[in-house]
Structure 1
């Protein structure tokens, strides 16, 4: 599931919702700009209710939970309607609980990649990407970890996203650069839609349809 979703939608906006009233217009603005896979971080009191609203009321949105730190959070997010789950790291307990077909456990080293792979996760979250060495590190591990693919998150924005998406072992990138604080606080949802459109265009140029099809066929 994650392979298919991320191949078709290689940009994952990371949403931190502080006010429930912002949830629907924020999600609708992103979907209108072509970004349909939405990661709602479990960092605020409004997170689970926001996730449920988006999942129930935003057509076309694929809504997941981010910053999943425990099995209790995973179960709460699942109950709220999350379709996928993202963690910044992973404990043994969490790796056992998360569904392998619908989760991105966070990894930051070769050992962590191997541990997640051993638990059945072929697609992982590489985090924090830029701080760990970015595209250089991802290129260097492509050989020994040819079975693995990544959603790179952390320090990624409009200026460097294309360099990640051009890598054969990167299915997607995640970030919040298309969600400026000023736009959210001012209710300027059209600004967010425009930034989403720009990101979608960059992704399309970096990952043409033919390349998407080839990548999908190779790893499904």
Structure 2
């Protein structure tokens, strides 16, 4: 297996600094003068991750995928991750990431067969394969852009088993951001670019202030007002 050169991906601090500079990830530092962020759901949070920005940068995303695949293979003592046939993620956020991971896996693992990718799309409250799908007896690696509860991945697993019940799943999951605070989804270990338990709350229920109120108004459009989150206070 190739020796990886030290880079910004080697440490949590390096990842956080670079991703903040790219406008991908921000985590509140506890400074009472710094605002929190309002998410599209209307909830307020102490962290923000925008995987779409990362997917706009192919060279960066490929480096991330290479690092995560390498970490997975290094840590998989069962060696079950050496025989993956297909990478699958939920649409839309994980499509580009799944393609990048499949490419990285094929380049790193000399024993890899011709690896494929697929993505599951929402269909009502479930997920389904509408354009391509896993085949019987394939070995599947699941990927996700952001894991909050893991609910989407559970539905993707159900969709896979509906069309190919004989498939086997890798004991690992790769993610760009794991904000769940968990190390595993069921029995599957999560390898993530960013591991941070990011909290969300309703207006007036801030867990970081004495009375639950916001000390300063939350940033409403984090992508447009990134400097308000990252500047010195």
Q: Same fold (TM over 0.5)?
A: no
Q: Which has the greater radius of gyration?
A: 2
Q: TM-score, normalised by structure 1?
A: 0.29
More strand by share: 2
More helix by share: 1
